Chain A
Amino acid sequence: MTNAKQGTAVPAIQISGLRKRYGSVTALDGLDLRVEQGEVHGFLGPNGAGKSTTIRILLGLLRADGGEARVLGADPWASAVGLHRRLAYVPGDVELWPNLTGGEAIDLLGRLRGGINRARRDELCDRFDLDPRKKGRTYSKGNRQKVALIAALASDVELLLLDEPTAGLDPLMEAVFQSCIREATAAGRTVLLSSHILAQVEVLADRISIIRKGSVVESGSLRELRHLTRTSVSVMTEHPADAITSLPGVHEAHHDGEQLTFDVDGEAMPVVMRELASLGVTGLTATPPTLEQLLLRHYGDELAAGVGNGNGNGSKAPAGVAR
């Protein structure tokens, strides 16, 4: 990673207090986001939380009702064209021209952006196992997504805005995608990776922002976010460890044969560890929280109330009534 760029450089993305309404529906409600140059930033949230709306404002396709957004130091609404030479975008739902082949669409989008690296394009077609000779209308969702990904990755740009880029890819292709993103960051590119697929973000992201109902509720490195959550601990000790269960920050303790299993709040960890050490630990496993659990904690109340419709804002975007 090119940390040399950080510090003095302007952030790749800086958003403060961003607001967007569609009629009576509030899509973004004072969203703040900062993405440093050179990092992979995970933009995590359930469907309808406002991820796509945010990205489209960053592209100047939608106009914010309030707040400020800066992409590579510029206003995305006013300087859209200049910025688009320096960034590439993969939409969540890729639609292709029915009569153009995948290869034609890749070339076209690359050229409209200001040029495409032919060798890199061919290599990416190979790696993603895409047949570029098929017509746009005959591709599956996953293959349409590959077309958009290849067009974006084959361009020489500073910033990649990827809106749920692997939603339709199989695990094999997701691995290819991950290595491509690592290559991109090695080349100094910044990546904003929106997703509700936690494993993907966990693997790739340096920092993560969690968006919920149009505003970012948590932001930081994975480590920093874990700090906010509970670690699951299973421990075997020489002396009875029941005293642990009454410590502040320890939850859901129960005996499981010889093992004691419990969850610890991040802040309580040092105290608990000291206490355990005095009891003579003979075996210990500690499992860090997954992003699933992070999300569950933010949405836990809604998930409990009724899963299917847990994201308040309703369907993906109000403009679904286009026709």
Chain B
Amino acid sequence: MSTTAVPTRRPSPSPLPARLDGHPLAGFRSLFRFMLRRDRIRFFGWTLGLTLLLAYFANVLQVVFPTAEDLQAFAAFSANPAAALLMGPGFGSEAITLERFLVGTYGMYLIIGASLMNILTVTRHTRVEEQSGRAELVRANVVGRYAPLTAALAVAVLMDLVVAILMGGMLAGMGFDAGGSIVFGASVGAAGLAFAGIAATCVQLTEFSRTAAGIAGAVLGGGFLLRGLGDMSAAQGGGLDWISWLTPIGWSQQAAPYVHDRWWPLAISVACFVVCAGLGYALSARRDLAAGLVAARRGSAYAPSWLSSPFALAFRLQRASLVGWSLSLFAAGLAYGGFTQAMIDGFADAPPELLVLFGGEENLLTGYLGLMGLMFAMFTTVFAILAMQSLRSEEFDGRTEPVLATAVSRPAWLGSWTAVTALGVVWLLFAAGLGEAIGAAASTGEGELFNDVLLGHVAHAPAVWTTLAMAALLYAVTPRLVPLAWAVFGYAFLIGFFGPMLDVPDAVVQASPYEHIGEYPSEDLSVTAMLVLTAIAAGITAAALAGFRHRDLVTA
């Protein structure tokens, strides 16, 4: 690992700096310390945050399942395709223990969290710095070509080590098997490590930090979908289980903590880190500072005639993101829809207490498709929150100022942006639903499913709008707090997918905007809920438009 590259400290002035002057790693030590200084809050926020989340899950499970018998009732759940899709391969479900259930159910989300932590850390210290021009200041000093990337990777590696040690130590401290605890901690850190390497390559490709993080995020998202297919296949004894082995999430899960305690799948993650980081170094040597590998093309000298309103500008600025999301969600819908028949076959022998979750054996088909609708509503919510964060970047980067210095009012600008996103939400739900509908109809041979599936997806729009409106309100009043919208997303996600298992009180469930419309076609659609949520979203948006008039614009 690259932490070994840290030169040893010497107490007295040494000839070392002189020898390092022309070295591509010159300045590494100062940069590494500088990055840690910049990240002193972020670093512990991420590492402790992820560990505390694990501690929280562990405690919840101990409260919900005080005895082994309580747990046994849910054992079968871990071995069915739907659970496999959302949680992983469910190793050891035949002899379930609390710790097996813990890492089998929540492990993947900690793995995803650690992966995001690495993508954001590496991007933040490399491409973000280059794009802002700050890297130029740094590189003009005695700083080697490879020093910034190496220091960024060293920070990421250190974070992964800390996460692995904290998680492993905490689980062992709770009395779980020490060997398995360490394997689990290492599996979370290993996935993070792999994505540090992947991010190191991605940041070389494009001039834009957001695009770079987006590419790495797409690798993560694609990996989530792929291993979902592989794990679903494995859960019902299909032959596609090898697909899980194509992704870092899969490698970490195949370590099977507390069951097989395998270390060697984690070696693949480390190899992935080494190869991808090496590729990143090689690519970085082939490009100029601040440049991407793909040169910018020339465009039109005149704006198209439709580009003449704040709404048109908001659309133009979100267009690329909308295209990418449309294609991804359509493809994902097609993949999950195409799995419908295999899914039902896999449930043939499932125990009845499991089938209750899907509305009983009769409703298995619609239950699966309804759950997919909710899942794509959550994906679309991610799009909506990111869109509002983009609007915030527009302002912080100084591009909103010239727009608001023209005859565009503040409500018109925020309203246009929110409207484009809101329509984008409907469009993306339609794209995902269309894929899902085609896939489901094709795999089951029941053409009449098509309309129901499509409707079941698009119907979630008012719930997503509600979250979007909250993000817009945060932006309008205190733009720094827009990320708080992720709390709404996280809450809705936990309630939506784990609420039924954790037996949470009704009021807690009802607080999520996503629990009212109904998972059509397995549940009835509530038109009332759709209208009420739309009205709530409209009301919050109106408050946002009014509130935006009252604050100073953030100016550089």
Contacts and interface: CB of A to CB of B under 8 A. Distances in A.
Interface in A297-323: 317, 319-320, 322-323
Contacts of B401: 56, 61, 91, 95
B309 to A, nearest CB: 8
B555 interface: yes
A82 B406 CA distance: 9
B494 interface: no
- How large, as a class, is the contact surface on chain B? 35 or more
B300 A103 contact: yes
Given A52-B555, A137-B207, A322-B554, A112 B298 contact: no
B405 A133 contact: no
A104 B303 contact: yes
Interface hub of B402, B407, B408 (most chain A Cβ within 10 A): B402
Contact of B406 (A52, A84, A91, A134): A84
B402 A89 contact: yes
B316 A112 contact: no
Interface string A130-159: 001111011000000000100000000000
A180 interface: no
A99 interface: yes
Which one of B317, B401, B406, B550 has the highest number of Cβ atoms from chain A below 10 Å of its Cβ?
B406
B303 A112 contact: no
B283 to A, nearest CB: 19
A114 B408 CA distance: 10
B302 A104 contact: yes
B308 interface: yes
Interface stretch (B144-152, B259-267, B328-336, B392-400): B392-400
Interface in B396-435: 396-399, 401-410
Interface string A196-228: 000000000000000000000000000000000
Nearest to A105: B303
B299 interface: yes
A112 B299 contact: no
Main secondary structure of the interface of B (DSSP, over half): loop
A108 B404 contact: no
A104 B307 contact: yes
Contact of A61 (B299, B308, B320, B552): B552
A93 B555 CA distance: 10
A127 interface: no
A114 B406 CA distance: 8
A284 interface: no
Given A99-B320, A101-B301, A61 B553 contact: yes
B397 A95 contact: yes
Contacts of B410: 80
Nearest to A52: B555
Contacts of B138: none
Interface of A: 52, 56, 59, 61-63, 80-82, 84-85, 88-89, 91, 93-101, 103-109, 111-114, 132-135, 137-138, 148, 317, 319-320, 322-323
20 contacts: A52-B555, A61-B401, A61-B553, A81-B407, A91-B402, A93-B398, A96-B399, A97-B317, A98-B207, A104-B300, A107-B308, A112-B403, A112-B406, A112-B407, A112-B408, A113-B407, A132-B302, A134-B298, A137-B296, A317-B556
List the 6 closest A-B pairs by CB distance, nearest first: A107-B303, A95-B398, A112-B406, A101-B299, A104-B303, A103-B301
